[in-house]
Amino acid sequence: MLVTTGTPVSVCGDSLHHADNVSTPAGWTLCYALETDVPDITTVPCNNLLVNIQGGQYLTDTDLVGAGGSFGCYKSSSGPSGVNVDYACTDGYQQTTYLKDRCSHCNTIGVCIRVP
């Protein structure tokens, strides 16, 4: 898993990067993982990428959703700027998809997170 150290607590948790300069709907944050970030990412369901969200306040996707938060996932072949936030930032959108599911050329999986 991708682990960043020495950086401020991120809503994105331990496995995802924060997508800078990408506009999202109010209350949502776009995070992402590249094909090279996570071992076996091509077969890892998107919901399994949510680890230690909000600095460990939500350890898993189940904790996040159980507390009233939500997330959606969307694949892209052009990095985080190619993630369609109109879909990704929708409650429950493609939460169990994985990077190469019906998209052999995709190299980024975007995860749009709404914390409670």
User: What average pLDDT score do residues 61-72 get?
Assistant: 96
Beta partners for residue 110, in sequence order: 32, 74
Percent of all residues in the chain with a pLDDT value above 70, rounded to a whole number? 92
Listed in sequence order, the residues at least 6 apart from 66 whose beta carbon sits closer than 8 Å to its beta carbon are: none
3-state secondary structure of 37: coil
Higher pLDDT, 6 or 69: 69
Confidence class for position 9, pLDDT limits 50, 70, 90? low
Give the pLDDT score at 28: 95
Higher pLDDT, 1 or 45: 45
Quick one: which of 100, 114, 116 has its CA closest to 41? Answer: 100
Percent of all residues in the chain with a pLDDT value above 90, rounded to a whole number? 63
User: What average pLDDT score do residues 45-49 get?
Assistant: 94
Listed in sequence order, the residues at least 6 apart from 20 whose beta carbon sits closer than 8 Å to its beta carbon are: none
How crowded is residue 83: how many other Cβ atoms within 10 Å of its Cβ? 26
Local structure of residue 87 (DSSP, 8 states)? H
Task: Tell me how far apart the alpha carbons of residues 84 and 66 are, in angstroms, rounded to a whole number.
Answer: 25
Give the pLDDT score at 19: 92
Confidence class for position 95, pLDDT limits 50, 70, 90? very high
